[in-house]
Amino acid sequence: MNIYAHRGFSGKYPENTMIAFQQAYELGVDGIELDVQMTKDGELVVIHDERIERTTDGIGYVKDFLYRQLRCFDAGSWFDERFAGERIPALVEVLDWASEQKRAITLNIELKNDTIHYPNLEEKVLKLLDAYTMPHRIVLSSFRPSSLVHLRQLSNTIPLAVLVEGEKRGVNHVAQSIQAEEIHGDPTFLFTPYGQEMSKYMDICVYTINDAQLFTKVAKQRVKTIMTDYPDRFFSHGR
């Protein structure tokens, strides 16, 4: 079973920052999950929330800032003063970093467009990825089915994953229509009869597993991958 670091090694480092990605990589994880949104001037940036106040010292929506403005905010001190000075990374910064690493890992890039619609987000992400030839495997995911459909229309080769939460029927139709490689669901989805049935013929990735008891329960199912904030807790179990 693969172990992915959810927003990097986010249990011990500020989420979606370069230090969280580096520490996850050094631990030896199979993959890193990260979130992508877009600034006012069209820069692809790595941050989970649509608003920045939870994980920076700024206030407002990602979409309302120029990239140079976002870079002025501290994305580390909220977690611990030891990480003061960490910044919101651009996606290109993460890809540059990944392309320099010797060991290949999966980068699971979630398009955070289920709440706010970012025009041409799909085109921009694919165009940027086309500029890189690296051994790392890329998977694009989203909670927004129309975005996944659009991605498949733009590329017939990029690996896609359907994101779901809870008992949501019809996922199989979306997955089949876009030729998705995986379904990414929470434990609730996995343990429904529907989720159990889906796991027979689709690769399932389960988020976000931080509890040892839940990990043991999930590990007994047909699960290809788990995402966790604490990959160090389960790393040995996944090998």
Catalytic residues, by residue number, are 6, 48
Instruction: Measure the CA–CA gap between 46 and 37, rounded to whole angstroms.
Output: 6
Q: Look at the block and give the residue holding tokens 């290809």.
A: 224
Q: Which amino acid is at 89?
A: P
What are the start-end ranges of the H helices in the chain? 18-27, 67-70, 91-99, 121-130, 145-154, 171-177, 187-190, 193-198, 212-219, 231-234
Give 63-70 contacts, CB < 8 A, sequence gap 24+: 63/37, 63/38, 63/39, 63/116, 63/118, 64/40, 65/39, 65/40, 66/39, 66/40, 66/41, 67/39, 67/41, 67/43, 70/39, 70/45
Q: Which amino acid is at 216?
A: T
Pairing mode, if any, of strands 182-185 and 160-164? parallel
Neighbours of 239 (CB within 10 A): 9
Query: Cβ(14)–Cβ(56) under 8 Å?
Result: no
